Amino acid sequence: MKDLAKKTPVQAWYTGKTIFVTGGSGFMGKVLLEKLLYACSDLERIYVLMRPKRGKSPQTRIDDWLKLPVFKRIREEKPEVYKKLVPIPGDVTSERLGISPEHEQLLIEKTEIVFHCAATLKLEAKLKDAIEMNTVGTKRILDLCQQMKRLQALLHLSTAFCYCDKEVLTEKVHDFHHNPYDLMRTVEWMDEKALDTITPTLLTPHPNTYTYSKRLAEMMVRDVYGKLRVCIVRPSIVCPANAEPVEGWVDSLNGPVGIMVAGGKGIIRSMLCNGEYNAEVIPVDLAINGLITIAYTMGQMAEMPPEIPVYNITCRETKRTTWKEVLDLGKATAYEYPFEAGVWYPDGDITMNKAYHTMCVVLFHWLPAYLIDFLMFCFGQKRFMCRIQNMVTEGLSLLQFFTTRQWDFKSHQYQAIAKNLSPEDNVIFTMDVDAIDTKDYLRRIILGGRQYCMKEPLSTLPKARIQLKMLYVLDKVAKAFMLYLMLWLFLSITGLRAPVYEMLGWA
């Protein structure tokens, strides 16, 4: 073992530790695993709950991860530490997590730190699926953790929006009129059609099953506090990496990344959003640094506080950025670094006028979609645009709840963590959002979405810029033609065409 004196306090604490992670295959999960292996390389082992997927075994899936950009620096600088990543076949939606008795005993005997990150992030998920994954799954993890003999810290990953009915969200668990255990029993016995019927009533005041099931899970975690060294961590909207492990790394089009990509390709032209409200986003690498240092902070506590610790991983009040600022800077960045093969010139806008938004959606979303699909049909090609537009419409309808409301997230306990870290740890595990340049970060988001989601290498930028200029000309010509057509129709209907033409000398 290396000399502990050469390590920072956080690295020294993680030395020799055995860790259990759920949700390791997710966006945040992969970044968490990578940072633990890279920055705390002398940990003993990381066990990852994994299920087979698409015919691949858990071990094969983990082996395949090493080829991903997120593990690039591990692959190039510390390939030997990757062997410390060990899959535990199982699934949070199965009884006793679906793990074998041998693996269960191994976790009970060895585990010292647990990061419970597994969840379904689908806002549109059916209530049964969301409860089974996010609520029942959490109970199964809590049951297992209560048997662990060496457990020092259990971190339950929640969301800053699980109390979306409260304008001010402090770092505490709030009561709710629904009992999570009653809901779990109801979901277990009730017919799915009947459950779907009562779902809207049950969800009130929540906009979706994700925030609802996460709120229920928090109540269960609070119930076991006193028996477990557990805390709740609530990140806001998690976005691509700012610096680590790769600038702009992202693996899905969820949330703001999908909006930026769709907007950059000219698919989204209008969105219901209050531009004066804050965009509550946090880079994934800063959020993961928060998770790692929160576990360390818990490990330093001789006694746990009277109430369960809750940490809101959100932006400081000094680093709040409005949706309008994001849009304006995002547009400028998208023009400088355009996407390939856009369907139209990316000049969409945000509005709070529902009538105007509806008109824009009809004219600039659906009409072009039908036109493109009609042309594809005429040329014998596969139609796709209406299907994409339908997905975009559903996604926007789910997101507009969050873009048309304002919340005030308090994060005093979370902000206090950095103050208690050594200067070296504050560099290695930085959580300083203030140091990030917003314009530069938006560039990284767009380039990350371009490279890692759309698979468009930077070498195609010159061609994309030419395409953007062509789309600009097409956009202006189309708008001029539409304006002329509308004016012609107006003059024809009102009988003013002949006098106007005569006045202009066009008769």
For the chain, report the end-to-end CA distance as a whole number of angstroms.
93
pLDDT mean over 271-297: 94
Q: How confident is the model over 291-305, as pLDDT tens digits?
A: 999 999 999 998 999
pLDDT mean over 403-417: 92
Residue 1: is its pLDDT beyond 60? no
Q: Domains of the chain, with CATH numbers?
A: 9-250+279-320+406-436 (3.40.50.720), 323-404+457-504 (no CATH)
Query: What are the helix (H) ranges across 190-347?
Result: 192-203, 209-224, 256-264, 284-299, 323-336
- Hey, which of 107-116, 119-128, 166-175, 252-261 has the most confident mean pLDDT? 107-116
pLDDT mean over 376-396: 86
At 123, give phi and psi (nearest 5°).
-65, -30
Report how far residue 209's alpha carbon sits from residue 302's, in angstroms, rounded to the nearest whole number: 37
Residue 506: is its pLDDT beyond 60? yes
- The pTM (predicted TM-score) of the whole model is 0.92
Report how far residue 218's alpha carbon sits from residue 153's, in angstroms, rounded to the nearest whole number: 16
Residue 3: is its pLDDT beyond 60? no
Q: How confident is the model over 62-104, as pLDDT tens digits?
A: 999 999 999 999 999 999 999 999 999 999 999 999 999 999 9
Report how far residue 416's alpha carbon sits from residue 423's, in angstroms, rounded to the nearest whole number: 14
Q: Which residues pair with 225 in a beta bridge?
A: 228
Q: Which residues pair with 89 in a beta bridge?
A: 50
- 2 — pLDDT class (breaks 50, 70, 90): very low
Report how far residue 287's alpha carbon sits from residue 187's, in angstroms, rounded to the nearest whole number: 32
Q: How many Cβ atoms from other residues are within 10 Å of residue 70's Cβ?
A: 24
Residue 468: is its pLDDT beyond 60? yes
**What average pLDDT does the chain have?**
91
Is the pLDDT higher at 368 or at 288? 288
- 245 — pLDDT class (breaks 50, 70, 90): very high
pLDDT mean over 409-415: 93
Residue 212: is its pLDDT beyond 90? yes
Task: Yes or no: say if 88 and 49 are a contact pair by the CB < 8 Å rule.
Answer: yes
User: 310-313 and 270-272 as β-strands: parallel, antiparallel, unpaired?
Assistant: unpaired
Task: Yes or no: say if 385 and 376 are a contact pair by the CB < 8 Å rule.
Answer: yes
Residues 6+ apart with CB under 8 A from 410: 168, 169, 170, 171, 312
Residue 399: is its pLDDT beyond 90? no
pLDDT attached to residue 192? 86
**% of the chain with per-residue pLDDT over 70:** 99
Q: How confident is the model over 341-363, as pLDDT tens digits?
A: 888 888 889 999 999 999 988 88
Q: How many Cβ atoms from other residues are within 10 Å of residue 375's Cβ?
A: 12
Q: How many Cβ atoms from other residues are within 10 Å of residue 336's Cβ?
A: 12
At 27, give phi and psi (nearest 5°).
-60, -55
Task: Yes or no: say if 160 and 234 are a contact pair by the CB < 8 Å rule.
Answer: yes
Dihedral sign, CA of 66, 234, 317, 446? positive
Is the pLDDT higher at 242 or at 279? 242
**3-state SS, residue 89:** strand
Both tokens of 172, joined, read 């505490």
**3-state SS, residue 153:** strand
Q: Which residues pair with 232 in a beta bridge?
A: 156, 310
pLDDT mean over 184-211: 90
pLDDT attached to residue 434? 87
Max intra-chain CA distance, the chain: 94
pLDDT mean over 428-441: 91
CA 113 to chain centre: 24
Whole-angstrom CA distances from 448 to 72, 257, 332 are 15, 9, 16
Is the pLDDT higher at 320 or at 1? 320
pLDDT mean over 406-421: 93
Residue 390: is its pLDDT beyond 90? no
Torsion of CA 390, 393, 396, 397, to 10 degrees: -110
Whole-angstrom CA distances from 142 to 111, 151, 409 are 13, 12, 27
pLDDT attached to residue 4? 54
- 507 — pLDDT class (breaks 50, 70, 90): low
Q: Which residues pair with 169 in a beta bridge?
A: 409
Is the pLDDT higher at 157 or at 406? 157
- Hey, which of 117-121, 152-156, 183-187, 432-436 has the most confident mean pLDDT? 152-156
Residue 375: is its pLDDT beyond 90? no
Task: Yes or no: say if 156 and 233 are a contact pair by the CB < 8 Å rule.
Answer: yes
Is the pLDDT higher at 85 or at 488? 85
Both tokens of 339, joined, read 């996407």
Query: What are the helix (H) ranges across 134-231?
Result: 137-145, 180-189, 192-203, 209-224
pLDDT mean over 240-254: 92
Residue written as token pair 């390590």: 7
Nearest residue to 407 (alpha-carbon basis) of 289, 307, 330, 315 = 315
pLDDT attached to residue 91? 94
- Residue length, the chain? 507
